[in-house]
Copies of this chain bind each other. A is one copy, B any other.
Amino acid sequence: MAGEWPKKTQPPSGLDGTDLAILAALVEDGRMTNAALAARAGVAESTCAYRLRALRESGVLTGIAAHLDPAALGRPLHAIIKVRLGSHSREHVHHLYDRLVELPGVMTVFHVGGDDDFLLHVAVAGPEALRDLILEHVTAHAVVRQTETQLVFEVRDGRGVLPG
């Protein structure tokens, strides 16, 4: 009953310690040079470059992206907007979903089950901008039956999905 996979190796895909070391380093600093990466993983540079390409192509490493400070870009106010729909037809849900992720200031959209249908994490310029975003771009959709907004005091990234 212990786990999902045969207990010999860690995760499903054949990731070894070298792969995990490379990934961990890139989570800390995505611009770390291949040479530094290789040193940290304890392999030759060419090997490291090869592993990195393989990790990208296998889909384990989905991307490397800059993290920006929303406040520095004029969006100091964070909120969670819970969105509840009136109709749950596949078309309605997908259409709204596509629209929501495109809205400026939307950081993440969670499509959830339970009381709500979508949870939006947004960063906006201020209370008026938040109200405008909700009224003009969320509630305005006919499928949206109700929204509820929570102020976010702070957001912190967790340790993520890497073992250790």
Contact = CB atoms under 8 A, between A and B. Distances in A.
Interface of A: 3-5, 10-13, 15, 23, 26-31, 58-70, 72-75, 80, 97, 100-116, 119-123, 125-126, 129, 150-163
B125 A66 contact: no
Contacts of A151: 112-114
Main secondary structure of the interface of A (DSSP, over half): mixed
A64 B62 contact: no
16 contacts: A15-B73, A27-B65, A29-B64, A59-B69, A60-B72, A65-B67, A80-B112, A80-B119, A101-B157, A101-B158, A105-B158, A110-B155, A111-B153, A111-B155, A114-B150, A120-B158
A135 to B, nearest CB: 15
Contacts of A115: 150
A66 B105 contact: no
B111 A152 contact: yes
A54 B37 CA distance: 24
A10 B65 contact: no
Most buried by B among A27, A101, A108, A115: A108
A110 to B, nearest CB: 5
Contacts of A108: 108, 155-158
Contacts of A112: 80, 150-153
Contacts of A103: 158-159
A45 to B, nearest CB: 16
A110 B74 contact: no
A79 to B, nearest CB: 9
